[in-house]
Amino acid sequence: MRRKIEKSDAEWRAQLTPEQYHVTREKGTERPFSGDHRVTDEHGIYHCVCCNAPLFENEHKFDAGCGWPSFDRPLVSGCVEEHPDTTQGMQRTEVTCARCNAHLGHVFPDGPAETTGLRYCINSVAIQFHAGE
């Protein structure tokens, strides 16, 4: 397991835009349909906006109709971590970057039944698309 990246709040604030900081370091949520939720057939990998770790593959993205980018699995097992989240009166599972603890979104058990059955519902400001990878 790779060493965790740890930075101070001031370092993250200097590196990230205010919206990226709010979502990834303060567990915020972007407005639905505000980001890169559309499905394309382009090859590429989504990386963590904080530490550049590769996290999701465009081929695993699907249209969940929820307004956030949705994937049926992470790029490799262990590149994201999952934590129980009972905030806002809901039972959810939070998804974070395994390398830098960035908050990415949540995983729900209502994904496509023909593949994993999981929906990784991710804030698009938390990930950056690298085409052609």
Positions at the binding site: 48, 51, 97, 100
- The overall longest dimension of the chain from CA atoms, in Å, is 44
Give the range of 33-41, 85-93, 97-105, 116-124 binding Zn ion by CB under 5 A. Answer: 97-105
57, 69 in Cβ contact below 8 A?
no
Q: Which two tokens stand for residue 21?
A: 């900081």
* CB of 12 vs Zn ion, minimal distance in Å: 11
Residue 121 bears catalytic tag = yes
107 near Zn ion, judged by CB under 5 A: no
38, 32 in Cβ contact below 8 A?
no
Choosing from 16, 45, 64, 97, the residue that interacts with Zn ion (CB under 5 A) is 97
Q: Which residues are catalytic?
A: 121
